[in-house]
Amino acid sequence: MNHLALKELLARYDRPGPRYTSYPTAVQFTERFDGDDYARHLARANAVDAPLSLYLHLPFCERRCLFCACNTIVSPRKQAVSSYLEELDEEIGMVAAHLPDRRQVEQLHLGGGTPTYFAPHELAWLMERIRERFDVAEGAELSVEVDPRVTTPEHINTLVECGFTRLSIGVQDLDPTVQEAIARVQSLEQIRDLMTLARARGIRSINVDLIYGLPHQTVETFRDTVEAVIALGADRLAIYSFAYVPWIKGHQKKLDAATLPGRDLRFELQALARCALTDAGYIDIGMDHFARPDDELAVAQREGTLGRNFMGYTVSRAPDLIGFGISAIGYVQGAFVQNTRKLSTYRRALERGEMPVERGYALNGDDMIRQQVIQELMCNFCVDKTRTSATFSIDFDDYFADALRQLEPEVEAGMITIDADALKVTPRGRLFIRNLAMAFDRYLKPREAQARPVYSQTV
């Protein structure tokens, strides 16, 4: 692709857009959805004969990373937050009481924040409390996010004893100048030692996260980072575009915007990472995620069965995801549920014996149809029109006439093919998969109709 063609593509496609971790996106969540609504959806979930997925949000960090857009609480004084696990336990018990007949868990993830902020014995206690309320299936996928700067050998030993088999390590970038700018200083040796120890203790899968678009990144320095991470032998890699959203995350204002890579450089950084990973044998499974060919995610995509939830790409077929902890988001029988994002509000709700729900959204029939189409595009790069029509008793071409018209230029640009039976995303179109999915989003407003930015850039 020549430079002029590349610039034209970027000018056309680099716009604010959702990442589609959910559809409808969190922008549509409403405070009219409350704890009583959640209880009704849990009652419906209790009658379903299927396993569950659990997500536990452990939001605390010792230091703030300036690139981070997660909901975190920075507290160097760990004793000040020791009660959080007890409060989390209260919520787990409250939800479990609504699921007396449905307790089997096939997927569990500890996210953050930094889960290994807590001491090993505290994490072991939390897992004991989970297992007292839920039946964690043999062979269930248990995964956890770890920070090499605070994760000790004792943490790894405890996690393995608790049944964890997957680690996700935030690397972001290995260049010292970039690390200083984003306040995330960690050495390659720290990361390598952690991965070596984890594998020796029995962790069977390690995911590494990198971010392009960070301050001071160059093609040369990011290439060094990508090559070093490939040499570490990660099973999965996620190469995220930096979500620069200072209007949402005020601490990002501390970053010097003048040092952020421009649009063309961001695309170059993404392209070099993509090429390096595919040359090393990794499979592009979508949304800047890569996995080894024998990884279950890559296998599922080849078979057209890959799924996606708030924990990322998954092979789990559990229809419901229960979220615990502040700001955690779950999906229960056709409704998204988000807990309160303030710790004080979370505590007060639990003290009153109430579900700590802040907002949510119950999908309607149209949402369910579009949700499936967008997920199929994002996960499997293909939508079977005939199957979708049969599943929802619609005529696909008639129902999505407007979306198909919007995609006509993308067909001409070689991003997607559309025939009588299916929509199929081309290799070029995979680079802009968020843009293609946006054609099916009925809630998106034109940029000129938005009072302020809502989403990060798609490239």
CATH class of 25-323: alpha beta
Beta strands in 123-241 (DSSP E): 135-146, 166-172, 205-212, 236-241
DSSP assignments along 283-348, one per residue: EEEETTEEE-TTSHHHHHHHTT--EEETTEEE----SEEEEESTT-EEE-SSEEEEE-S-HHHHHH
> What pLDDT sits at residue 264?
86
> What pLDDT sits at residue 384?
96
Upstream peptide bond of 112 is cis (omega within 30 degrees of 0): no
Q: Which run of H or of E encompasses 190?
A: helix 188-201
- Sign of torsion, CA 81 83 85 87? negative
CA–CA separation, 355 and 35 (whole Å): 5
Burial class (CB in 10 A: 0-12, 13-18, 19+), 211: buried
Burial class (CB in 10 A: 0-12, 13-18, 19+), 141: buried
- Sign of torsion, CA 28 31 37 42? positive
Phi-psi region of 139 (alpha: psi -120 to 50; beta: other; left: phi over 0): left
Domain boundaries, the chain: 1-16+364-445, 25-323
Q: What is this structure's pTM?
A: 0.91
What are the residues facing 417 on neighbouring strands?
A: 424
Pick the CATH number of 1-16+364-445 from 3.40.50.300, 1.10.10.920, 3.30.70.3280, 1.10.540.10: 1.10.10.920
- State the distance between the two ends of the chain, measured CA to CA, in whole angstroms: 17
Between strands 166-172 and 205-212, the pairing is parallel
Both tokens of residue 214? 């960070």
Q: Could you check whether 1-16+364-445 and 25-323 share the same CATH topology?
A: no
Low-confidence ranges of the chain (pLDDT < 50): 1-4, 448-451
CA–CA separation, 413 and 410 (whole Å): 5
> What pLDDT sits at residue 365?
97
